[in-house]
Amino acid sequence: MLMEPTINKMLTLKLTGMVEALEEQRKSADAAAWNFEDRLALLVDRQWLWKENRALTTRLKFAKLRQPACVEDIDYRHPRGLQRSVMNQLAASDWVRQAQNCIITGPTGVGKSYLACALAQKACRDGYRTRYFYAPKLFRELLAGQADGSLPSLLTKLAKTQLLVIDDWGLEKATAAQYRDFLEVLDDRHGNAATLITSQFQTDRWHELVGDATVADAILDRLIHGAHRIDLKGESIRKLKAKGASPD
């Protein structure tokens, strides 16, 4: 039997994983001894795995994470107040499924961005559409959207993102208009999608950062109530590594 026409049809149907597994079976001396059901099951399993890996690659590309990070590589030895039990709970991504928020605060260098990217990467692995933004860049995009008329499109895109990561909130001062646009982002997501924010500033200082008490109240109301909280402390890990010190 000529397999070339069959393989071409499988490729047309985008069954690339099956084709790869079929080629392996044809080259395997042991495959001839397998029954039809076993061989078919292996083909289907390979196609499912190929599709899942491709979808994960697409989600990670869309996420644009700041750094490669994963929850399995988190260092708990450094004394910064990070609890393994809390991270294990968040790593399950149930909070993303339930459209809850997470806020990670602490001084510079204690690993806030790494933890955020690790949780975002795990959310991608669990099938959630995720997007990372450095906070000043997000505010610049909101400002540009106002200027060129693309803001509605940007807001729609952000609203459809199941986990939005905003890193280094409060690092740069934004305008009153930008904070109002940011409030609209949060309003679209409230109760519908999860948001993760990292900041060097404790939440009791966010009113001061925003300036407008009404807008600040609205932002805090949509972010903080019921949010998962991680408050890190301690010396900068980057400084310790630069000194060649052990994080133990």
Which CATH class for the 64-243 domain?
alpha beta
Q: SS3 for 166? A: strand
Counting every residue, how long is the chain?
248
pLDDT(246) > 50:
no
Look at the block and give the residue holding tokens 């903080």: 224
pTM of the model: 0.79
The model's confidence at residue 80, banded by pLDDT at 50, 70 and 90, is confident
Higher pLDDT, 119 or 202: 119
**How many other CB atoms are found less than 10 A from the CB of residue 9?**
10
pLDDT 10s digits, 199-224: 998 888 888 888 888 988 898 989 88
Residue linked to tokens 């008329």: 149
| Ramachandran area for residue 121 (φ above 0: left; ψ -120 to 50: alpha; else beta) | alpha
3-class secondary structure, 72 = helix
Domain boundaries, the chain: 4-62, 64-243
β strands within 47-178, DSSP E: 101-105, 130-134, 163-169
More confident residue, 198 or 246: 198
The arithmetic mean of pLDDT across residues 169-185, rounded, is 87
- Of the pLDDT bands very low, low, confident and very high (cuts 50, 70, 90), residue 244 is low
- Nearest CA to 228 among 109, 88, 131? 88
